[in-house]
Structure 1
Amino acid sequence: MPRRPASGAKTQGAAYRLALFDREFLLSPAMRGVRLQVECTKADEALRAWGVRSTIVVFGGSRVRENGPGDQPRWYAEAREFGRIASERGGALHPVAGLRDHVIATGGGPGIMEAACRGAHDVGAPAIGFNIRLPQEQAPNPYTTPALTFQFHYFAIRKLHLAMRARALVVFPGGFGTLDELFELLTLRQTGRLGPVPIILVDEGYWRGLIRWESLEEAGMIAPGELALLRFVGDAAEAWQAIEAALPLHLSR
């Protein structure tokens, strides 16, 4: 009579392992779509649990320091002041029916991102950090709310969360990463894929010295009048005034 095959080897194999606990399978190219969905949903559920309905996104250089050279201390101070003003007057500090509006959201790292989150933290308001996993690990700044401090693997999902609740974009001086995020949302505004979100550039001298914006219209690369999608301001107070003027709701509480 033939011996019955032993089942031990079969139950130890990868095929028998529950898919949910099969790390090799979950990290395979075939499951990339699922990983994208999971990464998106995890942050979405946490934001819903906190009642975050809308955000004000703040971009700026990660290399800016509070006691850095040149204009860096001024930029840091203005970003911190903006985080404070927006949190006090925009609805993040005082939820209505469990919903928070205009919560400060950043990339979660140091520099301008830290300063804006610090301003929110100064008045006891939440601040969101959408961190990204990089070859040189980016540590979250100490002022983001722990339950709203995320780490993403996919830039696309991080950008989705930065854009999907944004009611305003405030951009302080920065480098390549800041420009990437600025033009990402500027293009969404230009193409009508993002609602009437004001895009505000703080420190007009820096931004006009960096790019001659009028050249785009003069060369026919953008439609006449599309430069009006950008608003240049000098400081945090002007940035907040521009947001109040642009949004349909009166924000001051």
Structure 2
Amino acid sequence: MTDGPDNRAAINSPSYRLAALDQDFLLGDSMRGVRFLLEYAKAEEALRAWGVHSTIVVFGSARIREDGPGRQAYWYAQAREFGRIASERGGALKPAGNIRDNVIATGGGPGVMEAANRGAKDAGAPSIGFNITLPHEQFPNAYSTPDLTFQFHYFAMRKMHLAMRANALVVFPGGFGTFDELFEILTLAQTRKARNVPTILFDETYWRSVINFDAMVEAGMVSPRDLDLFDYAESAEAAWDMLQKRDLGAAKPVT
């Protein structure tokens, strides 16, 4: 405000707000691309600060419980054990210089995600949680490293961060969300839009009961060699051994 004519209307106008501080503007349709970029940059900055060079991504249902019925308790226990094994042996616990390889990364929520992050914490290693905002709010589990626990609005950017540093993928039983994430990674490898990372499906009986991969081959929807993109494992130790056979190594530098 000046000593001259009253300019309060101009000062109080939304158009006068600094663009970077104008939430109405930033959340408008025209800024969707900027918000997308911000979701990339914020997580990227934190991951680089922690020296995260590559990850092992663990997918699986948020509905699995440590004391759940049937095979659920086993799946939870093995996801936790895998998180511990991979963290102890893969390079997340004892980084080379300031570089950490094979850091456990999950969707950050409950169930299998919680179990894998918990296993990394059991080992004393950092782990990542890439959370997503949902109509029924998903809260981060208590085991991902706080500085590496993120919240995304856009599924596409969340999946990009899950994929871009992935050195391996271990997929426990799950539903639509797990299928979505699994088939995205397989499609990227099949179409050579990304390098073929070792992919393990945990519990062959479950996966063969819900997806008839052989029928896809018989119908000509995929080629027989596409089924070589993944293997099966029945225990955490077996999953780790399979990753070694598939030449789990350090990922290429992120560009």
| Same fold? TM cut 0.5 | yes
8 Å contact kept, 2:167–2:248? no
State whether structure 2 residue 58 is matched by structure 1 residue 62: no
Gaps of 5+ in 1: none
Counterparts of 2:21 and 2:249, CA distance in 1: 47
State whether structure 2 residue 165 is matched by structure 1 residue 165: yes
- Offset at residue 247 of structure 1 (A): 2.0
Q: What residue in structure 2 maps to residue 91 of structure 1?
A: 91
Counterparts of 1:90 and 1:125, CA distance in 2: 11
State the SS of the aligned residue for 2:197: coil
Q: What residue in structure 2 maps to residue 50 of structure 1?
A: 50
Identity of aligned residues (%): 62
- Offset at residue 235 of structure 1 (A): 1.1
State whether structure 2 residue 147 is matched by structure 1 residue 154: no
State the SS of the aligned residue for 1:70: coil
Q: What residue in structure 2 maps to residue 232 of structure 1?
A: 232
Counterparts of 2:33 and 2:247, CA distance in 1: 36
Q: What residue in structure 1 maps to residue 140 of structure 2?
A: 140
- Offset at residue 17 of structure 1 (A): 1.1
* Amino acid aligned to 2:9: A
* Amino acid aligned to 1:62: A
Counterparts of 2:248 and 2:173, CA distance in 1: 27
8 Å contact kept, 2:79–2:119? yes
Gaps of 5+ in 2: 251-255
Counterparts of 1:57 and 1:224, CA distance in 2: 25
TM-score (norm 2): 0.94
For residues 166-187 of structure 1, give each alpha carbon's deviation from its aligned partner in whole angstroms, at most 9, with x where no partner exists. 0000001111111111111111
Q: What residue in structure 1 maps to residue 215 of structure 2?
A: 215
- Offset at residue 133 of structure 1 (A): 0.5
RMSD, aligned α-carbons: 1.1
8 Å contact kept, 2:196–2:229? no
Counterparts of 1:16 and 1:150, CA distance in 2: 32
**8-17 or 213-222: bigger deviation:** 8-17
State whether structure 2 residue 201 is matched by structure 1 residue 201: yes
State whether structure 2 residue 96 is matched by structure 1 residue 125: no
For residues 27-80 of structure 1, give each alpha carbon's deviation from its aligned partner in whole angstroms, at most 9, with x where no partner exists. 110000000001110000000000000000000111111111000111011101
Paired residues, number? 247
Counterparts of 2:43 and 2:60, CA distance in 1: 22
TM-score (norm 1): 0.95
- Offset at residue 196 of structure 1 (A): 2.3
Counterparts of 2:166 and 2:94, CA distance in 1: 18
Change (3 A) 1:130 1:212: same
Counterparts of 2:57 and 2:224, CA distance in 1: 27
For residues 99-142 of structure 1, give each alpha carbon's deviation from its aligned partner in whole angstroms, at most 9, with x where no partner exists. 00000000000111111111100010011000000111101111
State the SS of the aligned residue for 1:108: coil
| Displaced runs of 4 or more, over 4 A | none
Counterparts of 2:149 and 2:5, CA distance in 1: 51
